Chain A
Amino acid sequence: MSDGLHARELTVRYGGLVANSEVSVDVAPGEIVGLIGPNGAGKTTFVDALTGFAPMTGEIELDGIRIENLPPHERRAAGLSRTWQSGELFGNLSTTENLLVAARSAGWTSLARDVFGRRRRNGRDVVGAALEMVGLTDIADTLARDLSLGQQKLVGVARAAAGGCTVLLLDEPAAGLDSMESRALAQRLRAIADAGPGILLIDHDMSLVLTVCDRVTVLEFGKQIFTGDPTAARTDPRVVAAYLGTPTEVGHG
């Protein structure tokens, strides 16, 4: 029984700088939650904190299990998966191999399995669904570093989803895509969410976020200034001020 992600009062400090201040976000299964905010608001830091790449305090619960003390790879195994803003694909591996890294486990037992076990002729059956989901079956054998930026972003999404997960954290998957690709991505994200996992979507593309998301959370200077309905976010004075840069009483953290 999936319960989704509950992050409560996450705080990230780098020296004297508070990059995230008591940010709380919930992502239910099948739901797409947008995380928006101006540059430097702490969006990527929040994803880093959730996935174990930034030192944090607070609680993270995934499917009813507390995971804030687990190392990154165990959080992934628990079902919390992410993409990176800069792609971070394994450039020397093909698209299929990139997905297989995430889909197949690799430990002492797989060492024995590699040597003595029967070999599947190729991994397409394992990762085919994930590739199909993002519409990339035709580049299955291309080396990741030979892909276009847009394709790399999509492979990143497919890699994060490969092997199954409860919640997907997508860090600017639409950056570098043109408006048509961006619309196609929106449909794909909706399809992924409908199939089960919840999605936390970070993006600058306001039209993408506001059309595809069920709810949005807005960060400014590491603080949560709004959470709620996307249409309400459009007219919320604090959100408008944050994006237009007008000084408001919700000052610096």
Chain B
Amino acid sequence: MGTVLQFVVLGLGLGAVYIGLGSGLLLVHRATGMINFAQGAIATWGAYVFAELRNTGTLVFPVGSVDLGEPPSTATALVIALATAIALGFAVHYLAFRPVQQNSVLAQVVVSVALLITIQALVVLRFGPNKIDVESFVPGGTVTLLGAAIPTRELFIALVMVVLAALVWCYLRFTRMGIATRAASENERAAVLMGFSPSWLAAIAQAGAAFVGTVAVILASSLTGLNADYFGLLVVPALAVLLVAKLESIPVLVVAAIGLGAFQSLIGLLVTQPWWPVWAQSGLDQVIPFAVVMVILFVTGKRLPTRGATQQIRLPDVPIPRIRPLVAIGLVVAAGLALAFTTGTIRFGLTTSLILSLLALSYVVLTGYLGQISLAQSAFAGAAGFVLSKASVDWGIPFPISMILCALLATALGMLVALPAFRIRGAQLAIVTLAAGLGIERFIFNNYSLSPPEGNPIADASLFGMDLAVREGRDLSRLAFSLMVLVIVAIIVWVFVRVASGDMGRAFLAVRANERAAESSGINVRRTKVIGFALSAFIAGIAGCLIGFSRGQLSAESFTVMAGLQLLAVAYLGGITTIGGSLVAGLIGPLGISYVLMRTWLDLGEYYELVLGLALVLTAILNPVGIAGAVRHQVEFVRRKLRRPATSPPIDAPRREEEASHV
């Protein structure tokens, strides 16, 4: 009993972070109607500033830094760090959130995902990738209760966060500004009538959220050390807690946060029991938040307040694709030539770009056509890749069959993740799919008993005696492999065009435009969503297998949630509604050709994620059609100007992008 109590109290440290991030998320949602996926990353920045001040006496800004000589006192460092957090909150509001206030839900999700990527990248650039220690200024010690030593530090931290959450609750309930904030979430005019600018209220909320979150991360990181990835992604369980609180109740949020923290801590105790199966030891604490969210959503589904209920996901128009045989052949030949006339890392970069364009295409199917936001695509790809390792090495299944089987497994996973989409949409679906992705990552990819730490080797592909291995001797990138990838990508794109221009694609677009009208027109909306998720996950699965073949083995790092978010970023950046967009996305995607060139020619590889994040913020705000869409608009504009006869060969975005790849 004493040990159980001890572990419950140890879980309070985690619970305190959930309270801090969760009440910030709630505050921002009340003020803006948006979910801030970057809440954890924002809080992490302030904590790093604090730690760096205390450790080295340097005040680090996103650009530049000031050396204060001596490390300042704890109190001074705290004040500076929290002031930084508040400034960051204001910046986030005015530079990122306010510009997309009237945009689609997708643009809003993308902006905060972009912020997450940007801030994480900045943290690594400015503070280094390693875990750093944080001074523990909270009085430590233990009290003995029920025969167990209970740490007081966790108790104190939780107490501080409960008090801060209570202050947030009081702000929303009793102050005129707080009441106006709540009114604004129903109707912005109401806030104006009370004499407040909704934008100012939202800015205050962002600053408050950053403050509360930063306090939580500073306190909790004194227990564990500070790590950007870890604390940045604690936003996922915090989002789970937020959903439990139905996005509005601070008291419920506090109870749920403490409960979840304690529960995760207890699982840590449980898995050390001798009777507990070894394969389920790792990652279970991450599966729990997802399970909690699923259950809550299924029980209370439609009763969650959806501020944007009347506002549909307004996405850019989708041009119905047609296969122009000449253009298609030209594209494939051009890509083939590009692969043939390059070698080594450049060819490998091009090949990776081709694979990435498939991953981006899976977003085009799901988000561009069906209007559903999924952040679990990299988990689908990863699941297929991991099974491919077993299928190709342990079970000896031959090449094309093994790949298709693994992609079908990803398909099944995708259909499972489609179930929450029956009840929810928009940003909430993004939360659930993010939690699902994180659960899969921690439970399967990072689970050493399922995927050994020394790597998951994948047997090279061969077909009819043709050797399709990626490497041979000193040749790191064989042409045969690259051409195989090209053929597979061409086939998948062809299938996509057939579906997108057929009855199914039309049904996707109808569901995206208006679910009610689609239902009354005889479309089974649920089945359509399942098919969309299945198709999208299948494409992602094929891409995962190709990534596996190209590396020769798979490690968890290839398919982390962050990698998935980066892919959403490039898919959106390229243009999430068109094939051209997915090709562009492939070219600019992580480890693709642009990255390779940036690293080898400009020596700027370490800035890749930062540039990506910033470009994405700008795209979400200014240019929802992405790069491919912008190019097409320009081309149409020029064509209209020139009044070209219709017989001239079509100049479309994909071909232009493909030409760019000759560089």
Nearest residue in B to A77 (C-beta to C-beta)? Answer: B522
Greatest chain B CB density within 10 A among A89, A92, A113, A163 is at: A92
- Chain B hits for A101, CB < 8 A: 506-507, 510, 518, 521, 523
User: In the bound complex, how far is the Cα of B533 from the Cα of A247, in angstroms?
Assistant: 56
Q: Which of B505, B517, B528 contacts A89 (CB 8 A)?
A: B517
Q: Does A73 contact B (CB under 8 A)?
A: yes
- The answer to whether A73 and B514 have CB atoms under 8 Å apart is no
- Chain B hits for A89, CB < 8 A: 514, 517
Considering the complex of A and B, which 9 residue pairs feature the smallest CB-CB distances, nearest first?
A114-B502, A106-B507, A76-B522, A88-B517, A90-B513, A102-B521, A72-B519, A101-B510, A110-B503
- The answer to whether B510 and A113 have CB atoms under 8 Å apart is no
- The answer to whether A108 and B522 have CB atoms under 8 Å apart is no
Q: Does B603 contact A (CB under 8 A)?
A: no
- The answer to whether A82 and B520 have CB atoms under 8 Å apart is yes
Provide the B478-516 mask, 1 if CB < 8 A to any CB of A, else 0.
Answer: 000000000000000001001101111111011011101
User: In the bound complex, how far is the Cα of B506 from the Cα of A219, in angstroms?
Assistant: 38
Q: Which of A71, A111, A160 contacts B531 (CB 8 A)?
A: A111
- Chain B hits for A102, CB < 8 A: 521-522
User: In the bound complex, how far is the Cα of B518 from the Cα of A91, in angstroms?
Assistant: 12
Nearest residue in B to A110 (C-beta to C-beta)? Answer: B503
Interface residues of B (CB under 8 A from A): 317-318, 320, 495, 498-499, 501-507, 509-510, 512-514, 516-525, 527-528, 531, 535
Tell me how far the C-beta of A54 lies from the nearest C-beta in chain B, rounded to whole angstroms.
Answer: 12
The interface residues of chain B, by DSSP majority, are classed as: helix
- Chain B hits for A72, CB < 8 A: 519-520
- The answer to whether A53 and B503 have CB atoms under 8 Å apart is no
User: In the bound complex, how far is the Cα of B525 from the Cα of A77, in angstroms?
Assistant: 13
Q: Does A180 contact B (CB under 8 A)?
A: no
Q: Does A105 contact B (CB under 8 A)?
A: yes
Q: Which of A175-207 contact B (CB under 8 A)?
A: none
- Chain A hits for B520, CB < 8 A: 51, 53, 72-73, 76, 81-82, 84, 88
With A71-B524, A82-B520, A92-B509 known, 10 other A-B pairs at CB within 8 A are: A51-B520, A73-B520, A73-B524, A77-B522, A88-B520, A89-B514, A90-B513, A111-B504, A119-B501, A160-B521
- A-B contacts, 28 of them at CB < 8 A, read A71-B519, A73-B522, A76-B520, A77-B522, A81-B520, A82-B520, A84-B517, A84-B520, A88-B520, A90-B510, A90-B518, A91-B514, A92-B317, A93-B509, A93-B513, A97-B509, A101-B507, A101-B518, A104-B506, A105-B503, A106-B504, A108-B531, A110-B503, A111-B504, A111-B535, A114-B498, A114-B502, A119-B498
User: In the bound complex, how far is the Cα of B518 from the Cα of A89, in angstroms?
Assistant: 9
User: In the bound complex, how far is the Cα of B506 from the Cα of A58, in angstroms?
Assistant: 35
Nearest residue in A to B508 (C-beta to C-beta)? Answer: A106
Provide the A100-136 mask, 1 if CB < 8 A to any CB of B, else 0.
Answer: 1110111110110111000100000000000000000
Nearest residue in B to A163 (C-beta to C-beta)? Answer: B522
User: In the bound complex, how far is the Cα of B523 from the Cα of A102, in angstroms?
Assistant: 8
